A = this chain, B = another copy of it.
């Protein structure tokens, strides 16, 4: 299945990857990305040690499918896990499997949002408790600590380790995650549900050290300590749940920022005038209506910023640990997010659509090797897709990227400052809105609820089956206020981008069992040699062909 060439692998020097992901972190909520009042010195320092990719896009602006793309290196249309809790089909090749072949452990601490294909596993007789079963159920990860940061009380559901941790610290509850780590308190000490946006200004009911971000940081450190004894190279996915909702931060982060730090919403009244039907339906959702209110933004955004600040502080500790343990020189560090957050921009809450603050993510990659010195501290404007990371990691560990499976491209040449011929002309992102109430509003069948974004670095074309497309020109309209989707002046642009979309859609996505090199090895001579004689007239012609092929 893979084209990996073991002779190209470099086992002697231990190399690792620390693959850090935040959940719902906007690209522009970092000081190195220009946020005016949010200070993230540790992330900024990371950027100064590597390349900050300023045009990195996720393959779907919602957790589940975005992550399945990160973890498989494949587009949403390819892995088929279209939305949260759509199981990843059994047998879908994962980054973990590619790394395993290179002798590298792929380890998880935190969130993946993976939903196992229990039915498919049963169909194929795969025991979920076997090594292969766990790998299939965990999206190719060795789950050192799996925690999706979403613990609604379900009878019979397995409780994450963090719940037990909280109980041991003296926070008993049926759901300590919700009641303590993600709730605040009223004036009389009564619990106030952190799910509700109104409580964003309260401190969480656990101190900083017992909240999720420090806990996960410590678990990552635990793993790296243990891995030292193990000796095998690893790719550790440290996947923070924050700054994803519930928007509530522990002290002192809950009031480190105030309403004064809230940036003006990026929106215009014009956007509400006769919007594209799909956009209009999203604007009409509860979360969008609430985030369109200034009082909501002023209550929530400081908590969101506090949660980011907490992550930055924890990363400071983590990077110091790497330094102290001598790991920094052998460990590639990646920092990114699974998607952004509208926070009221464009009259929207959550994510789901394709404006920059939703679909574009922060991405910093540090390759510690001396060969990457020339690019340290630079900002790259190349068009990057989330699926590129899987390819990058395979490449980093010395493998050949199996291009018939992994659809992303290695970023290594960009890290090494090498010239790259024929880089991609556009990025793609997809969205399935069948699980949103928008489906009913628009009267669509489940299979009809699809959106496709194609962005070429200037024009952002959004194909919406059943509706006209949307189009934004980010050169003249960087804030994406003017939808040119039905502007007659841009018909040629739309036709060009639609043709590119067709080209993308028609490329293979399922030819995963046949690598290119096996195709290239086939020929009329190979066919003849196998004894399959198609189209030969007689013995003389056959003899001549054999001679011509050097087979006689």
The interface residues of chain B lying within 8 Å CB-to-CB of A498 are: 499, 502
Q: In residues 493-536 of chain A, which contact B (Cβ within 8 Å)?
A: 498-499, 501-503, 505-514, 516, 519-520, 522-524, 530-536
Q: Which of these, B82, B153, B197, B523, contacts A536 with CB under 8 Å?
A: B197
Let me know if B117 and A124 touch, CB within 8 A: no
Q: Quick check: is A193 within 8 A (CB to CB) of the other chain?
A: yes
Residues of B within 8 A of A286 (CB): 524, 534-536, 545
User: Number of A residues whose C-beta is below 8 Å from B?
Assistant: 94
Q: Which residues of the other chain, B, contact A542 by a CB distance below 8 angstroms? A: 196
Chain B residue at smallest Cβ distance from A117: B513
Judged by a CB distance under 8 angstroms, whether A126 is at the interface is: yes
Nearest-Cβ distance from residue A361 to partner chain B, whole angstroms: 20
**Extra contacts besides A193-B539, A498-B499 (11): CB < 8 Å:** A80-B511, A120-B513, A195-B533, A196-B536, A290-B535, A349-B535, A404-B447, A446-B516, A447-B507, A447-B516, A505-B506
Evaluate contact between A435 and B522: CB separation under 8 angstroms.
yes
Asked whether any CB of chain B lies closer than 8 Å to the CB of A245, the reply is yes
**Chain A residues in the interface with B (C-beta under 8 A):** 1, 77-83, 86-91, 97, 117, 119-120, 123-126, 130, 132, 136, 150, 152-154, 178, 193, 195-198, 245, 285-288, 290-291, 293, 296, 349-350, 403-404, 432, 434-435, 437, 440, 445-447, 450, 452, 463, 465, 498-499, 501-503, 505-514, 516, 519-520, 522-524, 530-539, 541-542, 545
Are the CB atoms of A447 and B508 closer together than 8 Å?
Answer: yes
Q: Which residues from B are CB-within-8-Å of A97?
A: 123
- The CA-CA distance from A440 to B513 in the complex, in Å, is 22
Taken together as a complex, chains A and B put the C-alpha atoms of A498 and B501 apart, in Å, by 12
Residue of B nearest to A76 (CB): B510
CB pair B506–A447 under 8 Å, yes or no, is no
Are A509 and B510 in touch, CB under 8 angstroms?
Answer: yes
A522 CB contacts on chain B under 8 angstroms? 435
Is there contact, CB below 8 Å, between B537 and A290?
yes
Bound-state CA distance A279–B77 (Å) is 31
Contact among B132, B178, B533 for A124, CB-based, below 8 A: B132
Contacts A197-B537, A511-B80, A535-B291 given; does A519 touch B434 at CB 8 Å: yes
> Given A86-B514, A447-B507, A502-B498 in contact, is the A120-B535 Cβ separation under 8 Å?
no
Residues of the B chain whose Cβ atoms lie less than 8 Å from the Cβ of A123? 1, 91, 97, 132
- Whether B513 contacts A81 by the Cβ 8 Å rule is yes
What is the copy number of this chain in the assembly?
2
Beta-carbon nearest neighbor of A299 in chain B: B537
A390 nearest CB across to chain B (Å): 17
* Nearest CB of B to A497, in Å: 11
Q: What are 25 A-B contacts with C-beta separation under 8 Å?
A: A1-B123, A77-B506, A79-B510, A80-B512, A81-B513, A82-B511, A87-B513, A89-B91, A124-B124, A124-B136, A125-B130, A152-B530, A196-B541, A197-B535, A285-B535, A286-B535, A286-B536, A288-B535, A296-B537, A437-B524, A440-B523, A446-B516, A452-B506, A465-B503, A501-B506
On chain B, the residues within 8 Å of A287 by CB distance are 534-535
User: What's the Cα separation between A83 and B511 when bound, in Å?
Assistant: 10
Nearest CB in chain B to that of A495: its residue:
B495
Contact yes or no, B403 A538, CB < 8 A = no
A86, B508: Cβ atoms under 8 Å?
Answer: no
- Beyond A82-B508, A536-B286, whether A530 also contacts B77 by CB under 8 A is no
Residues of B within 8 A of A435 (CB): 519, 522
Closest 6 CB pairs of A and B: A287-B535, A152-B531, A80-B510, A91-B91, A505-B505, A195-B533
CB pair B196 A513 closer than 8 Å: no
Residues on B with C-beta less than 8 A from A533 are 193, 195-196
Residue ID in chain B nearest A448 by CB atoms: B507
CB distance from A215 to the nearest CB of B (A): 21
Known: A434-B519, A506-B465. A537 touches B198 (CB 8 A): yes
A115 to B505, CA, bound (A): 26
Q: Bound state CA distance, A434 and B518, in angstroms?
A: 11
A536 CA to B440 CA, complexed, in Å: 20
Given A123-B1, A197-B536, A510 and B78 contact (CB-CB distance below 8 Å): yes
Q: Which of B81, B350, B499, B508 lies in contact with A534, CB distance below 8 A? A: B350
* A278 CB to nearest chain B CB (Å): 15
Within 8 Å CB of A541, what residues of B?
196
Inter-chain contact B502/A154, CB cutoff 8 Å: no
Say yes or no: A532-B150 contact (C-beta < 8 A), given A126-B125, A197-B537: yes
